[in-house]
Homo-oligomer: A and B are copies of this chain.
Amino acid sequence: MNCEFCERDGGPVLWRDGFCRIVRAASKDYSGFCRVILNRHAREMTDLDATERRRLMHAVFACEAALRELFQPDKMNLASLGNQVPHLHWHVIARHAGDRHFPDAIWAAPRRAAASGDDARPAVSDAQLGERLAALLAAPSH
Contacts and interface: CB of A to CB of B under 8 A. Distances in A.
A54 B51 CA distance: 11
Interface stretch (A20-28, A31-39, A80-88): A80-88
A102 B61 CA distance: 27
A89 to B, nearest CB: 11
A109 interface: yes
A124 to B, nearest CB: 17
B79 A77 contact: yes
A16 interface: no
Interface in A72-119: 75-84, 86, 95, 102-105, 107-109
Nearest to A77: B81
Interface residues of A, number: 32
A82 B75 CA distance: 7
A29 to B, nearest CB: 14
A76 B107 contact: no
A126 B79 CA distance: 25
A2 interface: no
A61 B46 CA distance: 6
Given A75-B82, A78-B80, A105-B81, A44 B57 contact: no
Contacts of A43: 75
5 contacts: A46-B76, A53-B61, A75-B81, A83-B95, A108-B108
